[in-house]
Structure 1
Amino acid sequence: MSELVSKSARPSHKTKTEASAARPGRRRKIFEFKKDIPASWSIGLGILVWLLFFGLWEMAVWLKWTNPILLPGPGKVLSALYTLFVENNFANDVLVSVWRVVLSFALACAVAIPLGILMGTFRVVEAFFNPFVSAWRYLPAPSFIPLLLMWFGAGDMQKLSLLFIGVVWFLITLIMDHVKAVPSDLIRTAMTLGGSRIQVLRTVVVPASLPNIMIAMRQMLAVSWTYLVIAEITAADAGIGAMMMRAKRFLHVDEIMAGILVIGVLGLLFDFLLRQLYQIAFPYLEEKT
């Protein structure tokens, strides 16, 4: 009995971290390693950085640190954006650009996903295709514009081909690397249980690598948007890039910057949609807070 009393009377040796964590009403630190923050913080900080950006931009124009012709203020850019949509039928250009990006990216995925999965699964397929794919990754896509113009003319096929070339080789490599990361124990276990190669590929390799494949698609969709203007500035009569080239002839910098702003907003919108699709398709991967 005395031993039990003495043990209960002994002070507990808790670390400072444990004591502070157990203390009710613990004050949250601003900078903590890999700790989630409230949703209100994420929204507020995201808005704050853009307010600072536009505020510094407006201040630079107001204090005449820059040439207002070459760098108009945010208000003038927004006014130009309103005029483009209301008076210049800019919505049609936006739809044309969205269609080009979506179609070319879908074609790139149709080639890259199956080929990347096979290259990441079977070494013989990788040995055959990888030297070819790796070589194309180091060739700048804009350098093909003269050839594409000669082969396909100035129509949509030339622009779709450029967007396809700029994405597909990198997407194949990313998917291959993600498939290679699938644990070998899963494959060996499925083979031991009597699964055929096709069954293991369909029921083990593809489901295990699919979340990372979607992440690779998100990354490369952003690259596709960066190639959009390059594809549309050459002999284009419609699209965001075509509008920006028309504005360049008359030194309408506000319209050029409005086009850049629209591309950024569209890129964020598509990235958000893919993130939502990822959360819907793989809810079990979401970390619990």
Structure 2
Amino acid sequence: MNQAMSAAPALGRQERRPRRRGLAPLEPVSARTRVALGVGFFVLFFVVWAFFTLGGFVSPTFLASPITMAREGWLLFTEFGFLHDIGMTVWRVLGGFVMAAVVAVPLGIAMGAHKGVEAFLEPFVSFCRYLPASAFIPLLILWAGLGELQKLLVIFIGSVFQIILMVAVTVGNARKDLVEAAYTLGASSSGIVRRVLIPGAAPDIAETLRLVLGWAWTYVIVAELIGSASGIGHMITDSQALLNTGQIIFGIIVIGLIGLVSDVLFKAVNRRLFAWSAL
């Protein structure tokens, strides 16, 4: 009798415990479910797009159908050398982004590690990061002409100040107890930066670079819209003049696919390099 009475509250507590549900707040989902949901959204998107365009609800002048977009994309590859345009755009993005990272990461580490450097640079960096990169295009054309350097500099300016500030914040948020422990063990100031701050912030710095790489793609299209003879942005400009919305949409989708692939690769590299950070 007593055992039954004591088991009743326990049973009640078990019944009140929330069950694990796939859509519950912060509840993780399996990798297979994540892929299925992601692919499912793309399928739904194309179904809705096809319904409105093939059903005649939207004029082809304003929005091409998926079938027209695919046909125009095939023509771009087979007759207009679009593969070369893709290669030029990817090269510009990577070139400008690497330039920005090489300059910004050391400056961001210095700002985050040394408050004097932060006080000296932070107002200027905060000021510059609000300036749109596209506003510099007229000056960059005067300084560097219409060649590749001008396009690389647009991406550089659009990325470098964002990376500096985000890296500085990441390094500045290091655990103070680890710094104090390193000092106690006899580490020097430079040793603190090399052995404590940089290793601790490295995973988040890599994540910052991954995010800013996505922003770099928006800058390269702006750079290619003016005074460019190649690239995805150049193709989009020419297609706009011809009212060819199929080619415009195909170019936009190609940019998204390249960005998605680069993002997945960046994540995979980060997980391999900093596997310990997920523990």
**Does structure 1 conserve the Cα–Cα contact (< 8 Å) formed by 2:85 and 2:232?**
yes
Aligned to 2:159: 167
Aligned to 1:112: 104
Q: Deviations over 1:34-57 (max 9, x none)?
A: 121122211111111111111111
Q: Deviations over 1:180-221 (max 9, x none)?
A: 111111111101110011111111000000111011111111
Instruction: Give the letter aligned to residue 106 of structure 1.
Output: V
Residues 1:61 and 1:187: Cα distance change in structure 2 (over 3 Å): same
Instruction: Give the letter aligned to residue 112 of structure 2.
Output: G
1:81-100 to 2 correspondence within 5 Å? 81-100=73-92
What is the alpha-carbon distance in structure 2 between the residues aligned to residue 255 and residue 264 of structure 1?
Answer: 14
Residues 1:164 and 1:63: Cα distance change in structure 2 (over 3 Å): same
Aligned to 2:266: 274
Q: Which one of the candidate residues 215, 223, 241 is aligned to 1:249?
A: 241
Q: Which one of the candidate residues 196, 200, 206 is aligned to 1:208?
A: 200
SS in 2 for 1:148: helix
**Bigger mean CA offset, 5-14 vs 113-122:** 5-14
Aligned to 2:275: 283
Q: CA deviation at 1:29?
A: 2.0
Instruction: Give the letter aligned to residue 166 of structure 1.
Output: G
Q: Which one of the candidate residues 133, 140, 151 is aligned to 1:148?
A: 140
**Does structure 1 conserve the Cα–Cα contact (< 8 Å) formed by 2:178 and 2:196?**
yes
What is the alpha-carbon distance in structure 2 between the residues aligned to residue 69 and residue 115 of structure 1?
Answer: 49
- Percent identical pairs in the alignment equals 34
What is the alpha-carbon distance in structure 1 between the residues aligned to residue 11 and residue 195 of structure 2?
Answer: 47
SS in 2 for 1:227: helix
**Does structure 1 conserve the Cα–Cα contact (< 8 Å) formed by 2:206 and 2:270?**
yes
What is the alpha-carbon distance in structure 2 between the residues aligned to residue 16 and residue 279 of structure 1?
Answer: 43
Q: CA deviation at 1:31?
A: 1.8
What is the alpha-carbon distance in structure 1 between the residues aligned to residue 14 and residue 167 of structure 2?
Answer: 42
Aligned to 2:214: 222
Aligned to 1:41: 33
Alignment length, in residue pairs? 279
Q: Deviations over 1:220-260 (max 9, x none)?
A: 11100111210101110111111111212222111111110
Residues 1:16 and 1:161: Cα distance change in structure 2 (over 3 Å): farther
Instruction: Give the letter aligned to residue 238 of structure 2.
Output: R
Q: CA deviation at 1:179?
A: 0.7
Unaligned runs of 5+ in 1: none
**Does structure 1 conserve the Cα–Cα contact (< 8 Å) formed by 2:22 and 2:28?**
no
Work out whether 1:139 is the aligned partner of 2:110.
no
Aligned to 2:93: 101
Unaligned runs of 5+ in 2: none
Q: Which one of the candidate residues 10, 14, 24 is aligned to 2:10?
A: 14
TM (normalized to structure 2)?
0.94
User: What RMSD in Å do the two structures reach over aligned CA positions?
Assistant: 2.0
List 4+ stretches of structure 1 deviating above 4 A.
5-9, 15-21
TM (normalized to structure 1)?
0.91
Instruction: Give the letter aligned to residue 93 of structure 1.
Output: D
SS in 2 for 1:251: coil
Instruction: Give the letter aligned to residue 11 of structure 1.
Output: A
Work out whether 1:240 is the aligned partner of 2:236.
no
Aligned to 1:69: 61
